[in-house]
């Protein structure tokens, strides 16, 4: 199913300066499409109870499936452990071979670069790098203050954000693989931060999404992350110089950064969501964590997960059950 959403975008062409003034962001309306034949049945609300459901994850629940940028048949993912820590596992989608890479505290999502290094946050211990076979583990940034690492396209630099207030700003930082600080960007980058497949960095600053040139720090374009006043953007994944994959509430779209055009990707709703998207090395496929929600009693939902690979151009989806 392919649904097209045409967005009329009115904004002044040019570059938004990086001064401290508050830029006016555009609200992009998500237009209803009467031809939408999505058959996904939403989870019913709990009548008379405002706190919402309790969630129970099944025993095979996986976290953040991430492509090997050099081999789309390989992924890494996180597996929750009973002691509250996590296993980082490499998995071959074809042979179903598993390799344990690391066990310990992992905050957020790791990042796997074309340099064949994996960078991750080891709790509050700092940023670590490791090879996909579990070798050469080393701390590259100490202090436990940098989070959400995201590699650039070449895999030789990555961007993080400073997790605590520093001079009243949240400072994004750019590092090399030796942990040397190369540059800083004075923006809050804990949400929708991405650099791979693009020269520019996406980042969310408060309720606004910005595309930032990391060389001169200019804001190239900006949008309200609350796109139509009700649908908040939850994810942003670059696929090329012009387009990204985003998630608004429970639905996934292809989004042209410069024109504001939307294209809905596939059917989803509150009982079936596709989250934690990650692009392969040639930007033709994206892997999602497909979450399904089943009501098991009045106030409890069982959450199951599957790795799902979506072929962007051919509009095809393949599910993988990893046990």
Task: Spell out the domains of the chain, with CATH numbers in brackets.
Answer: 3-320 (2.130.10.10)
Rounded (to 5) percent helix, strand, coil in the chain: 0, 50, 50
Q: Band of the pLDDT at 228, cuts 50, 70, 90?
A: low
Ranked by mean pLDDT, the top range of 45-59, 118-132, 171-185 is 118-132
The winner for highest mean pLDDT among 86-90, 211-215, 249-253 is 86-90
Grade residue 152 by pLDDT with cuts at 50, 70 and 90: very high
CA–CA distance, 64 with 31 (Å, rounded to integer) = 30
Higher pLDDT, 118 or 241: 118
The Cβ of residue 240 has, within 10 Å, a number of other Cβ atoms equal to 12
**What is the separation of C-alpha 202 from the centre of its chain, rounded to a whole number of angstroms?**
11
DSSP state of 77: E
| Tokens matching residue 233 | 């953007």
pLDDT of 50: 60
Q: Which value, to the nearest 10 degrees, does the dihedral of the CA atoms of residues 109, 111, 112, 116 take?
A: -130
pLDDT of 162 over the 80 cut: no
Q: What value, to the nearest 5°, has the Cα angle with vertex 253 and ends 261 and 67? A: 125
Beta-bridged to residue 116, according to DSSP, are none
C-alpha closest to that of 100 among 121, 116, 85, 86: 86
Cβ neighbourhood burial of 96 (10 Å; 0-12, 13-18, 19+):
exposed
| Residue 68 reports pLDDT greater than 90 | yes
């Amino acid at each position: 199913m392919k649904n097209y959403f045409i967005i009329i975008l009115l904004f002044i062409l040019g570059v938004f300066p990086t001064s401290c003034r508050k830029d006016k962001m555009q609200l992009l309306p998500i237009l209803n499409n009467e031809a939408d034949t999505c058959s996904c049945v939403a989870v019913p609300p709990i009548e008379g109870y405002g706190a919402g459901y309790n969630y129970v994850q099944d025993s095979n629940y996986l976290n953040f499936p991430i492509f090997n940028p050099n081999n789309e048949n390989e992924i890494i993912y996180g597996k929750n452990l009973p002691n509250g820590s996590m296993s980082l596992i490499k998995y071959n989608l074809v042979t179903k071979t598993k390799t344990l890479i690391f066990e310990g505290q992992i905050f957020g999502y790791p990042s796997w670069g074309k340099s064949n290094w994996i960078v991750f946050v080891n709790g509050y211990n700092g940023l670590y790098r490791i090879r996909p076979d579990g070798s050469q583990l080393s701390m590259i940034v100490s202090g436990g203050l940098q989070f959400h690492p995201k590699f650039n396209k070449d895999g030789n630099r990555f961007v993080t954000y400073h997790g605590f207030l520093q001079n009243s700003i949240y400072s994004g930082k750019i590092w090399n693989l030796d942990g040397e600080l190369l540059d800083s960007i004075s923006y809050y980058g804990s949400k929708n931060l991405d650099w791979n497949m693009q020269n520019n960095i996406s980042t969310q600053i408060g309720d606004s999404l910005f595309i930032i040139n990391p060389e001169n720090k200019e804001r190239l374009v900006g949008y309200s992350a609350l796109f139509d006043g009700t649908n908040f953007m939850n994810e942003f994944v670059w696929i090329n110089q012009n387009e990204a994959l985003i998630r608004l509430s429970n639905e996934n779209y292809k989004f042209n950064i410069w024109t504001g055009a939307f294209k809905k990707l596939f059917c989803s709703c509150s009982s079936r969501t596709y989250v934690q998207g990650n692009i392969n090395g040639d930007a033709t496929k994206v892997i999602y964590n497909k979450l399904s929600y089943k009501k098991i009693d009045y106030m409890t939902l069982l959450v199951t997960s599957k790795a799902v690979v979506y072929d962007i151009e051919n509009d095809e989806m393949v599910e993988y059950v990893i046990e």
